[in-house]
Structure 1
Amino acid sequence: MAAETQTKPPPAKETFHFINDPAEAINDALVGLTYLKPSLSYNREYKTVYRNDLPTFARDHVTTIGFAGGGHEPMFGGFVGHNFLSAYVSGNVFASPTAAQIFEAIKMCQPEGSKSMGTLIVCGNYTGDILNAGLAITRAQAAGYKVHFTPVGDDVAVGRKKGGKVGRRGLSGHLVALKGACALAQRGESLERVAEVMEYVAGNVGTIGVAFDRVALPNATITDLQTLPPATIELGMGAHGEPGLQQISPVPSPESLTSQMLDLILDISDKDRAFIPFSASSHPSADNEVVMLLNSLGSTSDGVLARFAELANADLEKRGFKVRRLTLGPLVTSLKMSGVGITIWRLPPDSGEAMSRAQALELWDEQVDVVAWRQ
């Protein structure tokens, strides 16, 4: 008698994301914002969150649009509202919104057409985002809309040699720059002035991240979680799990790691990565005051961020810098990535550049009415 054979069921995969339906994850997240903040509305067809008073506000104010792939919540949906963004356009997870989505958002932000004050559009520096924005803006300008586009690349892990013509990746620097630009838009400033401040601040911001793992996408088939070797971190890992500068094992002490991360942002002798125009790496002269942002990449707690903030502040003081403002929290995440990012904004010198130091801090301190910004 032939032996009976049994087929073993395949091993169950561990669920990584706690979601309802992967196809509806973005809609669920953005609809949820309108419950948290009833002053927001959501256009499901174009995956666009916008402030309820947009038609009235846009009549005599520059409007501002942030767009990105999903999976980086709360960016940018959590920053739509008074004194911040006018609208946010979301793509699918880690994918740019389409040109049609972006064009529709421009039309929403300029109901008066050519009579409108114009729209500032901002995204991180990624190829898909740039291409789709270019198509949308070309179409919008041909139709008579006034638009200024600023892609932001602040990741110092990508040096000039590696970045080439593409440039640095965008991380959390655009939030820093948008804080002042959107405050100016709320005051009724021109598109030219709003764009000038946006680009000036973006040119004085640098970010470096570090993480323990990459990310798995919440698609229809549960994906395997890509992990680094045990007791290993990756310095400079990208927001979508792109390779960083180096894998480090064993994991250094928080003090050593913080210092290494700040070196990458501040060292003006590193010609490949000296993007921020400080006068010196240690004890700079007229540009020794900064704003610092500590960002959770997804699963890092406020307590851990606070410790990194403490260490970074002490390290900066030793170098002769003064941290004038600090914020931390989950601002630009990468799903559940276990990591942290440090962003440094070089404040203008006392003599001023595109704006004075006093005005820079005044704009930073403007109160906002959004879901995600901590003041």
Structure 2
Amino acid sequence: MATETQTKPSPAKETFHFINDPAEAINDALVGLTYLKPSLSYNREYKTVYRNDLPNFTRDHVTTIGFAGGGHEPMFGGFVGHNFLSAYVSGNVFASPTAAQIFEAIKMCQPEGSKSMGTLIVCGNYTGDILNAGLAITRAQAAGYKVHFTPVGDDVAVGRKKGGKVGRRGLSGHLVALKGACALAQRGESLERVAEVMEYVAGNVGTIGVAFDRVALPNATITDLQTLPPATIELGMGAHGEPGLQQISPVPSPESLTSQMLDLILDISDKDRAFIPFSASSHPSADNEVVMLLNSLGSTSDGVLARFAELANAELEKRGFKSEDEWVWHYNLATASGQRRGYESGTGARVVG
């Protein structure tokens, strides 16, 4: 005689997101962006946000394209517009846009082909992004389009030994470089000049992150994530929840954590991570001017960011550095990148030669 058995349903898992349909999350976000910024338009087929004035702008300006996986909003979609990006191409959540999407964006930015002034394309240093960009750019150049490509790797948590030929992950250093490069494009500078500034700043920026927990993805099936123990932070965690340098418990004071993060960016004696060629870690001789960027991935309040900005600025001054500019903002919001129960702070520095 068969025995009927009952299995208890698995407990519902928290998703940490208000979304309509996971498959449409990117389209919903980017369509909504055009309502918030009426100066933008959205091409749904290729998941591309672009300036409304793009047809006129391309006639006598270098155009700029940023692309990335979705879920990092407002990066790059929120930075399309006057004095910034010409267009943004989005992939699915944490997935690169396809080569076809990127190629279509290039064509959109250069409607006159070889007569156009050219296009700067920027992305974070991730394998899928690099491969798809390479395919798109090879195809575009063969068709006569002028393109310069700059992948940005600024995460000092990934040292030279670990990064190998792949290099560092891209975090928020793009924004420091793009702000200058896109302003030059708006002024009518050449592709060579715009690319020169982009390459210089991208080559002199370092970022480090910290978080209390990993990201929760807004897809239909929530995968089990390796969460951190209570009262623990992970130093060097990536924007997608990639492993960091170390887990620290108990949680250090904000002052101590700020100092430790700046050590990883500024210490020129750390040969594995001394990516910015300062003349000295403390009281550099002639290259002490920096730009500082603090970035939340969604879970940090403005008050906490402001406190970290104050601490970082004081620590920089103590070491003999002068912060020429400070950016404190939620560059990446919590659609997918928000670190649950936590914060992720990044500091970008550049040498003013």
**TM-score for the superposition, normalised by structure 2:** 0.89
Aligned-partner SS, 2:208: strand
Deviation of the 1:7 alpha carbon: 4.2
Name the structure 1 match of 2:173.
173
Contact kept in structure 2, 1:54 and 1:86, CA below 8 Å: yes
List alignment gaps of at least 5 residues for structure 2: 323-327, 330-350
Distance 1:251 1:374, change over 3 A: farther
**What are the superposed Cα offsets for residues 47-84 of structure 1, whole Å, 9 maximum, x if unpaired?**
00000000110010000000000111110000000000
**In structure 2, distance between residues paired with 1:59 and 1:48:** 20
**What are the superposed Cα offsets for residues 181-230 of structure 1, whole Å, 9 maximum, x if unpaired?**
00000000000000000000111111000011111211122334542011
% identical aligned pairs: 97
Structure-to-structure mapping, 1:21-170, within 5 angstroms? 21-170=21-170
* Higher mean C-alpha deviation, range 210-219 or range 176-185: 210-219
Deviation of the 1:289 alpha carbon: 1.3
**In structure 2, distance between residues paired with 1:81 and 1:176:** 16
Deviation of the 1:12 alpha carbon: 2.0
Contact kept in structure 1, 2:80 and 2:88, CA below 8 Å: yes
* Higher mean C-alpha deviation, range 133-142 or range 12-21: 12-21
Deviation of the 1:13 alpha carbon: 2.0
**What are the superposed Cα offsets for residues 225-275 of structure 1, whole Å, 9 maximum, x if unpaired?**
542011111000011111110111111111000000000000011111110
Contact kept in structure 1, 2:15 and 2:216, CA below 8 Å: no
List alignment gaps of at least 5 residues for structure 1: 323-343, 346-372
**In structure 1, distance between residues paired with 2:91 and 2:288:** 38
Contact kept in structure 2, 1:216 and 1:226, CA below 8 Å: no
**What are the superposed Cα offsets for residues 271-314 of structure 1, whole Å, 9 maximum, x if unpaired?**
11110111110001111111111000221111111111111011
Contact kept in structure 2, 1:216 and 1:224, CA below 8 Å: no
Aligned-partner SS, 1:179: helix
**In structure 2, distance between residues paired with 1:309 and 1:15:** 31
Deviation of the 1:11 alpha carbon: 1.9
**In structure 2, distance between residues paired with 1:264 and 1:182:** 29
Q: CA RMSD in A?
A: 2.8
Contact kept in structure 2, 1:16 and 1:222, CA below 8 Å: no
**In structure 2, distance between residues paired with 1:3 and 1:138:** 64
Distance 1:207 1:7, change over 3 A: closer
Distance 1:113 1:12, change over 3 A: same
Aligned-partner SS, 2:209: strand
**TM-score for the superposition, normalised by structure 1:** 0.84
Distance 1:15 1:286, change over 3 A: same
Contact kept in structure 1, 2:15 and 2:218, CA below 8 Å: no
Aligned-partner SS, 1:133: helix
**In structure 1, distance between residues paired with 2:257 and 2:214:** 19
Count of residue correspondences: 327
**In structure 2, distance between residues paired with 1:255 and 1:149:** 38
Contact kept in structure 2, 1:155 and 1:208, CA below 8 Å: yes
* Higher mean C-alpha deviation, range 221-230 or range 49-58: 221-230
Aligned-partner SS, 2:12: coil
**What are the superposed Cα offsets for residues 336-372 of structure 1, whole Å, 9 maximum, x if unpaired?**
xxxxxxxx99xxxxxxxxxxxxxxxxxxxxxxxxxxx
Distance 1:11 1:148, change over 3 A: same
Contact kept in structure 2, 1:209 and 1:238, CA below 8 Å: yes
**In structure 2, distance between residues paired with 1:93 and 1:62:** 29
**In structure 2, distance between residues paired with 1:134 and 1:167:** 16
**In structure 2, distance between residues paired with 1:6 and 1:22:** 31
Distance 1:315 1:272, change over 3 A: same
